[in-house]
Amino acid sequence: MAQMIRIKLVRSPIGRPEKHRKILQALGLTRLQKEVTLPAIPQVVGAVKKVYHLVQVTEA
């Protein structure tokens, strides 16, 4: 099983590009302070890198 990472939305996507908002929605981050735990597969890690300035990432 892949290593898990915990992703928390800490900054608002308001005023950000539509692409960033869609990435957050795809990750399951729909409101501030929401946390999701996802596997650290390349697709998820790549999406997190695109919105790294909006989220906080920790190992689960």
Per DSSP, the three-state class of 19 is: helix
Per-residue pLDDT, 23:
98
User: For 16-58, what is each residue's pLDDT tens digit?
Assistant: 999 999 999 999 999 999 999 999 999 999 999 999 999 999 9
pTM (two decimals): 0.92
Report CA-CA distances (Å) from 6 to 21, 55, 59: 18, 10, 6
Per-residue pLDDT, 60:
84
* 7 and 29 Cβ atoms separated by less than 8 Å: yes
